[in-house]
Amino acid sequence: MSTTPPPPLHVRGVTVRFAGLTALDDVSFTVAPGTIHALIGPNGAGKSTCFNVLSGLTRPDSGSVCLGERELTSLPVHKIATLGVARTFQNIVVTAGTVGDNLMLGRHTLSRAGFAASALRLPRAVREQREHRARAREIAELTGLGALFDSPVALLSYGDRKRVELARALCLEPRVLLLDEPVAGMNGGERARTVEVLRTVREELGLSVLLVEHDMALVMRLAEDVTVLDFGRRIAAGAPDVVQADPEVRRAYLGAPATEERTP
Ligand SMILES: Nc1ncnc2c1ncn2[C@@H]1O[C@H](COP(=O)(O)OP(=O)(O)OP(=O)(O)O)[C@@H](O)[C@H]1O
Residue 108 belongs to some domain of the structure: yes
Helices and strands, number each (H, E), in the chain: 10, 10
| Predicted local confidence at residue 261, as pLDDT | 41
Q: Which domain holds residue 220?
A: 9-254
List of residues 6+ apart from 48 with CB closer than 8 A: 90, 180, 212
Regarding the beta carbon of 98 and ligand 1, being less than 6 Å apart is answered: no
Q: How many CA atoms does the CB half-sphere of 92 hold within 13 Å? A: 20
Task: Report which protein residue has its CA nearest ligand 1's atom 4.
Answer: 18
66 three-class SS:
strand
The answer, yes or no, to whether residue 214 has pLDDT greater than 70, is yes
The answer, yes or no, to whether residue 91 has pLDDT greater than 90, is no
List of residues 6+ apart from 164 with CB closer than 8 A: 94, 99, 102, 103, 145, 153, 156
Regarding the beta carbon of 222 and ligand 1, being less than 6 Å apart is answered: no
**Cα of 43 from ligand 1 centre, angstroms:** 8
Residue 172 belongs to some domain of the structure: yes
Residue 3 belongs to some domain of the structure: no
Ligand 1 atom with least separation from CA of 19: 4
* Interatomic CA distance for residues 234 and 198, integer angstroms: 26
Residue 79 belongs to some domain of the structure: yes
Residue 2 belongs to some domain of the structure: no
Residue 263 belongs to some domain of the structure: no
**Cα of 255 from ligand 1 centre, angstroms:** 19
Domain count, the chain: 1
Residue 264 belongs to some domain of the structure: no
The DSSP result for 218-243, as a single string, is HHHHH-SEEEEEETTEEEEEESHHHH
How much is the ipTM here? 0.95
Residue 51 belongs to some domain of the structure: yes
| Predicted local confidence at residue 264, as pLDDT | 47
Q: Of the candidates 21, 30, 18, 9, which has an alpha carbon nearest to the alpha carbon of residue 234? A: 30
Distances (CA, A) of 126 to 106, 118, 119, 120: 17, 7, 10, 9
Tens digits of per-residue pLDDT, 15-68?
999 998 999 999 999 999 999 999 999 999 999 999 999 999 999 999 999 999
Distances (CA, A) of 194 to 143, 180, 219: 8, 13, 12
4 vs 72: which has the higher pLDDT: 72
Q: Among 24, 27, 48, which residue has the most ligand 1 atoms within 8 Å of its CB, making it the best to mutate?
A: 48
> Dmax over Cα atoms in the chain, in whole Å?
69
| Predicted local confidence at residue 116, as pLDDT | 58
The answer, yes or no, to whether residue 257 has pLDDT greater than 70, is no
CATH number at residue 210: 3.40.50.300
Q: Residues 118-134: what's their mean pLDDT? A: 75
Ligand 1 atom with least separation from CA of 52: 18
Q: Of the candidates 25, 99, 97, which has an alpha carbon nearest to the alpha carbon of residue 61? A: 25
